[in-house]
Chains A and B, each alone.
Chain A
Amino acid sequence: MLLITIMTFLSGVTLGAVVLVQKSAIAWSSEVGREVTIQIRPIEGEVMQSNVRTAITLANSAAGVSKAFALSLDESEELLIPWLGEGLDLSALPVPRLIIVELDRADAQDIAQLKASIETIAGASLNTHAAWRQQLNTMAGTFVISGLLVLFLIASATVLAIIFATRGTMSSNRAIVDVLHFIGASNSFIAGEFQGRFLRIGLRGSIAGAVASLLFFFGAGIAVSSILPDQSGAQLGALFGTFSLGFEGIIAVSLLVPAISALTAVTSRLTVQSFLRNTS
């Protein structure tokens, strides 16, 4: 039973991590996708303020745009602080101005037309963050596939362990098998008896493992929020999401219980039938 508990715990942690990453990737991708950025670089001979107003007007008049607003100069300079450090006088630098364009939906916008209009303004460019989204989706996809591969390996190891455990049980209970044969029990009946026994073991073990993995995520969420300072926690949350599995995560981990119990029962039944065929 301990083996099933451990395997279910590992499966639960892996599956939970996959769910967390996928949830974060979808949320981040969706958030980034609902926003495009217009960048206007200072160009000699051009009036920055005028170009910013023109860009905002063009953006607001485009279909599918809910709101367009410019970041103030201070806000633009704040974005440079993580890269250049605090206390620098940035007034001498040609800091570009940023205009945030919020979209109604992440898709179905005529971004190409807006991009063409914006690029008529000197020094202006429109960034859809498509490259970031692509990279994020690729990374999340790789993580999900890796997680599923790990789950497959755990399931394979579980099956092998159940096969060896069942064979061991059969060998050490040879006398019981003989008695069942002597009273007229078929191989199918005997396999059913072993299946029932292993199903109960699988149920108890997988429930314990699933509960342990849910507690792990609950504990990890509390630990992250209490150990890390608010700002670091927020940044970690922004990048990787929170450790909250959510309803779908809890359902996914809970589904491991019937899945692993069934795997245990079916594997033991097939092993017993094979064992009986080879020994009778």
Chain B
Amino acid sequence: MIRFENVGLAYGNEPEVLKNLSFSIKPGSFHFLTGPSGAGKTSLLRLFLLSLRPTTGKITMFGEKVSRLNQDRLLQLRRHIGIVFQEFRLLDHLTTFENVALPLRVLGQSESEYASNVKELLEWVGLGERIDAHPPLLSGGEKQRAAIARAVIGRPDILLADEPTGNVDPELAERLLHLFAELNRMGTTIIIATHELPLLDKFKYPRMQLSNGRLKIDGS
């Protein structure tokens, strides 16, 4: 599904933040991406998300070489990827329902087509009573669940999450990870960037450890 071959990434003339990465991610797998702050976790996630191109090396996603993709094809592939941000990034002028439905609107679906799916998903993540609320009125946990719902509503093949538990309390963080595990059991490939190691110990998934721009994969 994802294949990196000798991938390096540098911003402008700065030293490389990612160095000579070679690995592959299989469909339906679950990985934690760990490492200290500044190790390059977010940069690696942005490569997965196709919002950056590598400085060196080759990335293959869904069987296609990323360097050869034009803008339209990049957008099409990006629709197979869901993303959850640490800071949620919900759109404040839209309701919870509208935020979650956004990826389906991008695909050109009408409200009558997606309304029941969105409501069902919001019920599943425990936001059934909050569908008309705007993000500023949601708690941190509610915002994160809405962000997860938005990431998975389009049934992506890969779900990326950047520190999804960084802004919630430990109890909710564990519940969120169970939610990701449930999504993984349903077939979604999941990569979660986090540095909360004690929490990870409760889940037996392989870890991709980044340090000084180099990657080591444990437990696969």
Q: Contact: A182 with B78, CB < 8 Å?
A: yes
A182 close to B91 (CB less than 8 A): no
A225 to chain B, nearest CB (A): 48
At the interface, yes or no: A79 with Cβ under 8 Å from chain B? no
Q: How far is the CA of A280 from the CA of B76 in the complex (A)?
A: 16
Quote the shortest CB–CB distance from B123 to chain A (angstroms): 22
Q: In whole angstroms, how far apart are the Cα atoms of A176 and B89 in the complex? A: 8
Asked if residues A183 and B51 are in contact (CB atoms below 8 Å), the reply is no
The answer to whether A176 and B91 have CB atoms under 8 Å apart is yes
Query: Does B186 count as interface, using CB distance less than 8 angstroms?
Result: no
Q: Which residues of A contact B49 (CB under 8 A)?
A: 182
Give chain B interface residues in 145-197, CB to chain A under 8 Å: 150, 154
| A184 engages B89 (CB within 8 Å) | no
Q: Does B75 make an interface contact (CB < 8 A)?
A: yes
User: Which residues does chain A contribute within 8 Å of B78, judged by CB atoms?
Assistant: 181-184
Query: Which residue of A is nearest B77, CB measured?
Result: A184
Residues of A within 8 A of B102 (CB): 180, 183
The answer to whether A175 touches B89 (Cβ under 8 A) is: yes
Interface size on B, residues (CB 8 A): 17
B82 nearest in chain A by CB position: A183
Query: Quick one: closest B residue to A185, CB to CB?
Result: B106
Expressed in whole angstroms, the minimum distance between the Cβ of B106 and any Cβ of chain A is: 5
* Most-contacted residue by chain A among B71, B76, B91 (CB, 10 A): B91
| Residues A158-208 near B (CB distance < 8 A) | 175-176, 178-186, 189
Shortest Cβ distance from B106 into A: residue: A185
The reply to whether A184 and B51 contact each other, CB–CB distance below 8 Å, is: no
Number of A-B contacts (CB under 8 A): 36
Within 8 A of B (CB), among A69-111: none
CB neighbours (8 Å) of A178 from chain B are: 89
Q: Is there contact, CB below 8 Å, between A183 and B103?
A: yes
Could you tell me the distance between the alpha carbons of A185 and B89 in the complex, rounded to whole angstroms? 15
A189: B residues at CB distance < 8 A: 106
Bound-state Cα–Cα, A178 to B162, Å: 15
Instruction: Tell me, in angstroms, the Cα distance from A179 to B76 when the chains sit together.
Output: 15
Q: How far is the CA of A182 from the CA of B154 in the complex (A)?
A: 13
Q: In the complex, what distance in Å separates the CA atom of A182 from the CA atom of B81? A: 9
Closest CB-CB distance, B82 to chain A, in whole Å?
8
Closest to A183 in B: B103
CA of A185 to CA of B74, assembled, Å: 11
Given A175-B89, A189-B106: A181 touches B51 (CB 8 Å cut-off): yes
Least CB separation from B78: chain A residue:
A184
Q: Which residues of A contact B (CB under 8 A)?
A: 175-176, 178-186, 189, 280
Task: Apart from A184-B107, A186-B72, list 8 A-B contacts with CB within 8 A.
Answer: A175-B89, A179-B89, A180-B106, A181-B51, A181-B78, A183-B102, A184-B103, A184-B106
- Closest CB pairs A-B (n = 5): A184-B79, A184-B78, A185-B106, A183-B103, A179-B89
Residues of B in contact with A (beta carbons under 8 Å apart): 49, 51, 71-72, 75-76, 78-79, 83, 89, 91, 102-103, 106-107, 150, 154
- Sample of 15 A–B contacts (CB below 8 Å): A178-B89, A179-B89, A179-B91, A180-B102, A181-B51, A183-B102, A183-B103, A183-B154, A184-B75, A184-B76, A184-B106, A184-B107, A185-B75, A186-B106, A280-B71
